[in-house]
Copies of this chain bind each other. A is one copy, B any other.
């Protein structure tokens, strides 16, 4: 019997709790579909966790929130990075996550392979303007470098062009596409994560 799959979800909004997060709203679609598939999920709103600067897994100073997030990533088969789009790029919080994840490159499993081997990663992107495909490119390249596998069509996004417009929570336009695409992404993540488990 295959154990329950676990997913760690990181919301990389710039807004600290309890401010509302558009990214959280779209991420929750992916989370719900993962849970419908039997996946246990753990979520972090990274900006609330005081993640210090650095490129190592170990604590970089008093109160560093990264080690707990790192351990949750290591414990899960699925990682979902969710970020807003600012200046057409991932948030600085998402970039900090990639920097801290860089420390995982030198960590190995018992069989000597990189610790991210067999783990999959997917992406959720929101924004009030164009930029999602590039945000996905940046995140995908980062996690592939670190050893994660990125399944085909393992992402969803929402924005409305051209030019600055409403946020996700301010309109219903396009939600249906983003929701359906997010549910497909969740299923692609789960199917691929299962396939990559040792038999």
Residue A151 at the B interface, CB < 8 A? yes
Using Cβ atoms and an 8 Å threshold, which residues of chain B touch A151?
A: 144, 149
A31, chain B: closest CB distance, angstroms:
19
Q: Is the CB of B196 within 8 A of A14?
A: no
Q: Is the CB of A138 within 8 A of B174?
A: no
**A residues in contact (CB < 8 Å) with B:** 14-16, 47, 53-55, 86-93, 95-96, 98-99, 102, 114, 116-117, 119, 129-134, 136-138, 140-155, 157-163, 174, 177-178, 181, 192, 195-196
27 contacts between A and B (CB under 8 A): A14-B55, A55-B86, A86-B98, A86-B102, A87-B146, A88-B145, A89-B95, A89-B98, A92-B93, A114-B153, A130-B131, A130-B161, A132-B162, A133-B134, A134-B141, A136-B144, A137-B140, A137-B141, A141-B141, A144-B152, A144-B155, A146-B152, A147-B152, A150-B150, A159-B161, A161-B161, A195-B196
Copies held by the complex: 4
Chief secondary structure at chain A's binding surface: mixed
Using Cβ atoms and an 8 Å threshold, which residues of chain B touch A91?
A: 95, 99
Q: Which residue of B is nearest A13, CB measured?
A: B53
Q: Is the CB of B163 within 8 A of A160?
A: no
A88, chain B: closest CB distance, angstroms:
3
Using Cβ atoms and an 8 Å threshold, which residues of chain B touch A161?
A: 130, 132, 157-161, 174
A89-B138, A95-B92 are contacts. A159–B162 as well, Cβ < 8 Å? yes
Q: Which residue of B is nearest A199, CB measured?
A: B199
Q: Is the CB of A95 within 8 A of B88?
A: no
Q: How far is the CA of A53 from the CA of B94 in the complex (A)?
A: 12
Using Cβ atoms and an 8 Å threshold, which residues of chain B touch A99?
A: 14, 86-87, 91-92
Q: How far is the CA of A181 from the CA of B161 in the complex (A)?
A: 13
A131-B130, A161-B161, A162-B178 are contacts. A152–B88 as well, Cβ < 8 Å? no
Q: Which residue of B is nearest A198, CB measured?
A: B195
